[in-house]
Amino acid sequence: MAVDLFWNDGERRKVHWLAWDKLCSSKLDGGLGFLNLEAFNLALLAKQLWRLLTWPDCLVSKVLKAKYFPRNHLFDAKVGTRPSYTWRSIIAAREFTIGMPLANWYRTFN
């Protein structure tokens, strides 16, 4: 777990004095302002998904399309057999973002 990075002391067990969600909340809300890496990772993967959709002539888009969804659209693509870690992660971001209102993304990035 990520909290062990801050409280783990080798073989001795430590007490977690604050909940991880409290540490990740903003300083204005009384937290320590740590970055929520899971949410940050999903945001970066969603950005890659957006790039695949908006820049189809980019080399990465062409390679992923040729390998994983040559005959259909990105939103119809399956994970497939023996996918790369990158492709599995992009599919996970796709599943996360499907059905999410566009206003959420607008507020996040503006």
Residue range 34-62, pLDDT digits in tens:
888 888 898 899 899 889 989 999 999 99
CA gap 74, 21 in Å, rounded: 33
pLDDT digits (tens, 9 = 90+) for 67-76: 999 998 888 8
Q: Which two tokens stand for residue 104?
A: 């959420």
Which of 82, 78, 89, 85 lies closest to 48, judged by CA? 89
Computed from CA positions of residues 58, 55, 100, 70, in that sequence, does the dihedral angle turn out positive or negative? Answer: negative
Q: Which two tokens stand for residue 25?
A: 């909340």
Q: What is the mean pLDDT of the chain?
A: 80
pTM of this structure: 0.62
